[in-house]
Amino acid sequence: MAVIEINHPLIQHKLTLLRNKNTDTKSFRENLNEISKLMTYEVTKNLVLDEIEVETPLMKTTGYTLGTNIAVVPILRAGLGMVDGIVSLIPTAKIGHIGVYRDEETLQPVYYYCKLPVDVQNKQVILVDPMLATGGSAIYAIDYLKNAGVKNIVFMCLVAAPEGIAKVLQTHPDVAIYTAKIDQGLDSNGYIYPGLGDCGDRIFGTK
């Protein structure tokens, strides 16, 4: 599967605002929400449509309705900041949650919670997390979804490290990765640089 870097001018402008260490919590949330909404256009461009008949004020004509059931699954907690932007465009989407955090000493994912929509195995799942760093949390979440019977998964993030991209593609070559920017890499602590800082803390104002 492909790695798609969405280099739209509006997205890159808003991403720069997110990178700025002086951006306050309110502006950070708003821009994260707006970037997620803009990225959704690209992520969903291949959704299946069903043809229907619709009657305009002038005549009957052919129209279309979504033929794909969508589920949005954020990786807690930072992924929550991306959900509203997606759901504003796909209000019928079901929402699940996967709780995984990274152990700061081992850099390995630690699972703590999961709740998925009914019949998730029959849905197109958009798995979201603002950061794709080492790839550990993303791989764990994809593993979990596949074990639940999900066959159609795309991963959507704001910034991604080449190291994380490589690991996800090696483990799950069938999962497309959509990102607003491929950053330079990971530092010695496994953080993306230049990155966004701790996205969860910046969304929720916890630091």
| Secondary structure E strands in 33-76 | 49-55, 60-66, 70-76
Structural domain span for residue 16? 3-45+69-204
Distance CA 128, CA 204 (A): 17
Distance CA 114, CA 120 (A): 13
Which tokens belong to 24? Answer: 């306050």
Q: In this structure, is residue 60 part of a structural domain? A: no
Using one digit for the tens of pLDDT, what is the confidence trace for 167-202?
999 999 999 999 999 999 999 888 899 999 998 899
Average predicted confidence (pLDDT) for the chain:
93
Distance CA 112, CA 140 (A): 12
Q: In this structure, is residue 7 part of a structural domain? A: yes
Neighbouring residues of 156: CB distance < 8 A, sequence distance ≥ 6? 36, 39, 43, 82, 126, 127, 128, 178, 179
Residue corresponding to tokens 């803009």? 38
Given this model, what pLDDT does residue 188 score?
85
Given this model, what pLDDT does residue 137 score?
92
- 67 pLDDT tier (thresholds 50, 70, 90): confident
Q: In this structure, is residue 142 part of a structural domain? A: yes
CATH of the domain at 115: 3.40.50.2020
Residues identified as active-site:
102, 106, 198, 201
At CA 85, angle to CA 84 and CA 91, rounded to 5?
A: 70
Q: In this structure, is residue 166 part of a structural domain? A: yes
Q: How many structural domains comprise the chain?
A: 1
Given this model, what pLDDT does residue 106 score?
77
Q: In this structure, is residue 17 part of a structural domain? A: yes
Q: In this structure, is residue 52 part of a structural domain? A: no
Give this prediction's pTM.
0.91
Q: In this structure, is residue 129 part of a structural domain? A: yes
Whether the pLDDT of residue 55 is over 70: the answer is yes
Q: In this structure, is residue 54 part of a structural domain? A: no
Across residues 118-126, what is the average pLDDT?
94
